[in-house]
Amino acid sequence: MVQQIQKTLRDSAAARWTVLVLVASMMFFAYMFVDILSPLASLLEKTPHLGWNQGVFGTYAAGEYLLNIFGFLIIAGIILDKMGIRFTGLLSASLMVIGAGVKYVGISEWFGANDIVWLNSWWTSMPGSAKMAMFGFMIFGCGCEMAGTTVSKSLAKWFKGKEMALAMGLEMSIARIGVFAAMAFSPMISQKFAVDGTNSVIAPLLFSALLLVVGLLNYFIFTIMDAKFDKQLAAIGEVTTGEADPEEEFHFSDLFQIFKSKMFWIIALLCVLYYSAIFPFQRFATNFLEETIPGMTNAEAAGLFKWFPILAMVLTPFLGSFIDNKGKGASMMMLGSIIMIVCHSIFAFVLPVYPSRVLALVTILVLGVSFSLVPASMWPSVPKIIDEKVLGSAYCLIFWVQNIGLCLVPLLIGNLRVATGGYLVPMIVFASFGVLAFVFSIFLKIEDKRKNYGLELPNKK
């Protein structure tokens, strides 16, 4: 029997790449939903029934990560390692759909037209619509971050010993098209469904929420394939990383393995510093371009920034393939951090003096190069330093540390905008994050050289 089933679904290129498409499409729809309102920040301020401002928008944006930093992501990691990728993936996709529904209600005119006493009677600086939307964003954020870690562990399982970095790079590329789609289609849908000359805020949100349902269905199809794969793994005696195995059962004490790892903390801190200069920037980028380049409209600014993920989308798979075959993962993280410092410095000091659309576009595209170098090398490095049994928890703990930054930075940037009335100080803050990320990338390379984790070595065996 063992002889008859030596080849599994993982050995089928068609099967494992189908898996990639299924799980990556879920993350594509998630990334699209995350930024679907970002190009409409100025419209949110002008919509009468909402009553938002820049400070409110920054606080709402922070809501995506709030529950995660207060422990949900740690719980998510435990759920992932105990219950497996099928249960956890369906749970995370369901949470995203539920959170999107709550957010939709909060932004809707029906909600704004009704005086919800219990919601409006506290935290009066935040409109009821913003509090409701923020609550929905919290639920969505729990599902989105849990999904990200689940997808990483799923790809580590299905591409073990094969094109792991390439697969993770392609997944990130597909997900980032979601950012492009949000920036490109949100203003278009908003304008298409304008009422009495006023663009719609709710239409793009509803469209993106419905796509999350499609993502849930795609992941359900993946679970059917993964269940069959696990049966094949059991038949050949290979320990599965997908569902709980009695011999490899997760224990809470295993978390100490992660916390005691110096390399884990270096990667986690590098991650939070790097991403804190990327994702919060995306939320404010459209408004930044509007205010920095004379005569630029909201739609034009969104149309310009939508190209940010394009070079990342194109380059990440090639970089993943390079790491699979040649290595140099730690070096790529250093280079990506340097590029980010340069780009945010241009946004801070050069673009306001020379407000050129060409300069803005080139800088945005080059920032996309950084956005391909660091993630493409970072995520495939984690399985090299963390035991496979606690890999899900490790990813979740890294995301937890990351979420602390992603929650606090939008609040910081929003308040700095209000306090200074401009974007100079916020852009200096973003560039400073890049400097610190570069410092930790140096620590990472030094530690890898000392302990020989193999971050500079190829993934393929």
pLDDT digits (tens, 9 = 90+) for 34-52: 989 888 877 887 777 777 8
Q: How many C-beta atoms lie closer than 10 Å to residue 84's C-beta?
A: 24
Asked if residues 267 and 399 have their Cβ atoms less than 8 Å apart, the reply is no
Say what the pLDDT of residue 246 is.
39
Query: What's residue 245's pLDDT?
Result: 47
Kindly report the average pLDDT of the chain as a whole number.
85
For residue 3, pLDDT beyond 60: no
Name which CATH class applies to 9-236+254-451.
Answer: mainly alpha
> pLDDT class for 2, splitting at 50, 70, 90?
very low
Counting every residue written for the chain, the total comes to 461
Please say if the pLDDT value at position 220 is more than 90: yes
Please give the average per-residue pLDDT across 203-222, as a whole number. 95
Beta bridge partners of 33: none
The alpha helices in 293-356, defined as continuous H runs, are 298-305, 308-325, 329-345
Which pLDDT does position 395 carry in this prediction?
A: 77
The mean per-residue pLDDT over the stretch 164-182 comes to: 84
> Among 25-39, 109-123, 321-335, where is mean pLDDT lowest?
109-123
Please tell me which residue, 320 or 276, carries the higher pLDDT value: 276
Q: Rounded CA gap, 380 and 189, in Å?
A: 37
C-alpha closest to that of 184 among 278, 288, 300, 281: 300
**pLDDT given for residue 434 in this prediction:** 95
Q: Do 143 and 89 touch, CB atoms closer than 8 A?
A: no
Mean pLDDT of 248-266: 74
- Tell me what pLDDT residue 137 has: 93
pLDDT per position as a tens digit, 448-459: 999 888 888 886
- Burial call 375-386: b when 16+ CB within 10 Å, e when fewer: bbbbbbbbbebb
Is pLDDT at 207 greater than 50 in this prediction?
A: yes
Question: 345 or 8: whose pLDDT is higher?
Answer: 345
Please say if the pLDDT value at position 409 is more than 50.
yes
